[in-house]
Amino acid sequence: MSPLPALTNWDSTRMTLHQAAQVLGAIREFQATPQPNYHHLPLMVTPNGLRSGPLPVGGELVLDFNRAHITYKCPADTCSTIPLSGHTQTSLAAAVLEAMAKTGHPAEPSPASFNGTHPLVIDRIQASDYASALYRVFTALARVRARLNGSQTALVVWPHGFDLSGLWFQRGFDEAADPHINIGFSPGSPGIDRPYVYLYAWPQPPGWTTLSLPELAHWHHQNWTGVVIPYDSLAPLPNPEAKLEDLLETVMKAVQEVMT
């Protein structure tokens, strides 16, 4: 495998993709039937970006990072494509909703979910690089999770934080009540400007931050406590996915052993 894309100087592209994902998320939520662990809200990863899955009002939305557009695939197999460039988040949402309404599938999501008024700025090469990075990390995390016993949620992207994550449960299947470990990938968040892979446990096992971590992984304590593997440490490696799998399996096993 080759090194991962560097993802440098891409803040504007990242914010644009995040705002576009929030538009998909708000429309996906409209009239959605609640599912366990809020899984009526996230988006699914594709090799080229994200998709909403079937919408309650009909059809599906696809966010293509490579082509920098949103496509509405309506039930009659006709499609409408809306480019991200030339829009604000608010006008992008309006254009997508108009395309849906024209096919007879109107939606009225909460406007609070897409109230950005700054012009969307996107570099298609950077967006394509992130599509590749996201999908490669997604498949690495999926392979790690496939080797775990126990209940798990799907590995999905959450529009509000734009992070990829999935839960493994020690017992039960209720995020609010049952002990679990979250493994995920963020393109950057408050306190951590660069992309990173993360792992945290809930409730926090007693003394778990004294666990020895493998090379490239470190403890994070600002706003939340967990293990962080910086993307910039993985990206230049000749086989970053294999290294990531090895790191996560080592950390996961250690944390499982101290969970009560």
Same-domain check for residues 233 and 169 = yes
Give CA–CA dist 234/58, Å, rounded.
Answer: 40
Directed axis angle between helix 89-102 and helix 11-29, to 10°? 40
Quick one: DSSP state of residue 33?
P
Nearest to 194 by CA among 21, 6, 4: 6
* Domain of 198, in residue numbers: 124-258
Q: Which two tokens stand for residue 227?
A: 């293990």
Q: Is the residue at 118 inside a domain?
A: no
Residue 260 pLDDT: 75
Q: What is the pLDDT of residue 158?
A: 98
Same domain, 109 and 138: no
Please indicate, yes or no, whether residues 109 and 134 belong to a single structural domain of this protein: no
Other residues' Cβ atoms within 10 Å of the Cβ of residue 141: 23
Do 92 and 201 belong to one domain? no
pLDDT in tens, the chain (260 residues): 799 999 999 999 999 999 999 999 999 999 999 999 999 999 999 999 999 999 999 999 999 999 999 999 987 667 899 999 999 999 999 999 999 999 999 999 998 889 999 999 999 999 999 999 999 999 999 999 999 999 999 999 999 999 999 999 999 999 999 999 999 999 999 999 999 999 999 999 999 999 999 999 999 999 999 999 999 999 999 999 999 999 999 999 999 999 97
Considering the domain architecture, whether residues 69 and 136 belong to the same structural domain is answered as no
User: Domain tally for the chain?
Assistant: 2
Q: Are residues 28 and 97 in the same domain?
A: yes
Q: Which pLDDT score, from 0 to 100, does residue 112 have?
A: 87
Mark whether 131 and 219 lie in a shared domain: yes
Amino acid 74: pLDDT: 86
Same domain, 198 and 243: yes
Q: Which of 65, 88, 113 is the last residue of a domain?
A: 113
89 with 74: CB under 8 angstroms?
no
- Position 1 scores a pLDDT of 76
Does one domain contain both 68 and 148? Answer: no
Indicate whether 6 belongs to any domain: no
Question: Are the beta carbons of 133 and 8 closer than 8 angstroms?
Answer: no
pLDDT at 242 (0 to 100): 98
pLDDT given for residue 75 in this prediction:
73
Distance (Å, rounded) from C-alpha 43 to C-alpha 17?
13
3-state helix, strand, coil in the chain (%, to 5): 35, 25, 45
Is 4 within a domain? no
| pLDDT at residue 78, as a whole number | 74
- Which amino acid is residue 76, in one-letter code? A
